[in-house]
């Protein structure tokens, strides 16, 4: 850390204005708090995410080889990856993978499956309706809501452009 850039602690302790004091303190805390290495994280995410996607490609190829057409093979692949993710979540392996892989496990469909399976396991004790029913989408909910909402917006734009003959 660059010593010259350090926030002077006296600017926190002696500052009379609470807002300025808090700003100075937050800045100081930012400097003294250790962070994950960005480069290492990106590399791990690239590696793990890449492996998951390669696995997906392998499944698609395999289902085509078994005689499925391309669209069906993609659907089967999704089902397989989701199944694997839920399975790994239930035996406690996906969490360990995510700790290492970060966004590499979060972005593919397996991350989505994990975010649905985890609350389902956790809230089972609180019942089928108020437990699982209410809580299953606590993490995935925003993805679903804004996913649907943004596709609706895009659909609208597509419709308007089509009316004007642009697409």
Partner 1 sequence: MPENDRNNKFKMIGKQSILFHNPPYIIGASSIAGKKEGEGPLGHLFDTVWEDPLLGQDTWEDAESEFMRQAAEKAIQKAGLSSNDIRYLLAGDLLAQLIASSFGVAELNIPFFGLFGACSTMGEALSIGSILIDGGFADKVLAVTSSHFAGAEKQFRFPLDYGNQRPYSASWTVTGSGAVVLSDQNSNSNGPSIRIKGITTGKIVDYGIKDTMNMGAAMAPAACDTIKTHLEDLNLKPDYYDKIITGDLGYVGSDILIDLLREYKIDVSSNHMDCGKEIFDPESQDTHAGGSGCACSAITFTGYVLKQLREGNWKRVLFLPTGSLHSKVSYNEGNTMPAIAHAVVVEAE
* Residue 49: closest CA among 107, 10, 2, 119: 107
Closest approach of partner 1 to the CB of residue 134, in Å: 13
Closer by beta carbon to partner 1, 32 or else 166: 32
Query: Which is nearer to partner 1, 146 or 152 (by Cβ)?
Result: 146
Measured between alpha carbons, how far is 166 from 39 in angstroms, rounded to an integer?
Answer: 42
Under DSSP, is residue 33 helix (H, G, I), strand (E, B) or coil? coil
Q: Which of 54, 61, 95, 150 binds partner 1 (CB under 8 A)?
A: 95
Binding site for partner 1 (CB under 8 A): 9-10, 12-14, 18-19, 21-23, 25-26, 28-29, 32-36, 41, 89-90, 92, 94-95, 97-99, 102, 105-106, 111, 114-115, 117-119, 121-123, 125, 138-139
């Amino acid at each position: 850390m660059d010593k010259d850039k350090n926030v002077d602690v006296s600017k926190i302790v002696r500052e009379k204005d609470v807002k300025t004091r808090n700003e100075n303190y937050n800045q100081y805390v930012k400097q003294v708090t250790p962070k994950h290495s960005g480069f290492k994280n990106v590399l791990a995410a690239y590696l793990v995410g890449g492996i998951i996607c390669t696995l997906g490609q392998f499944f698609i190829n395999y289902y085509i080889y078994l005689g499925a057409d391309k669209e069906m093979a993609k659907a089967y692949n999704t089902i397989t990856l989701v199944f694997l993710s839920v399975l790994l979540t239930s035996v406690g392996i996906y969490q360990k993978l995510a700790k290492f892989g970060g966004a590499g496990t979060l972005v593919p469909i397996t991350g989505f499956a994990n975010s649905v399976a985890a609350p389902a396991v956790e809230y089972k004790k609180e019942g089928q309706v108020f437990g699982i029913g209410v809580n299953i989408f606590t993490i995935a909910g925003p993805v679903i809501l804004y996913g649907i909402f943004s596709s609706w917006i895009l659909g609208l734009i597509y419709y308007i452009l089509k009316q004007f003959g642009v697409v």
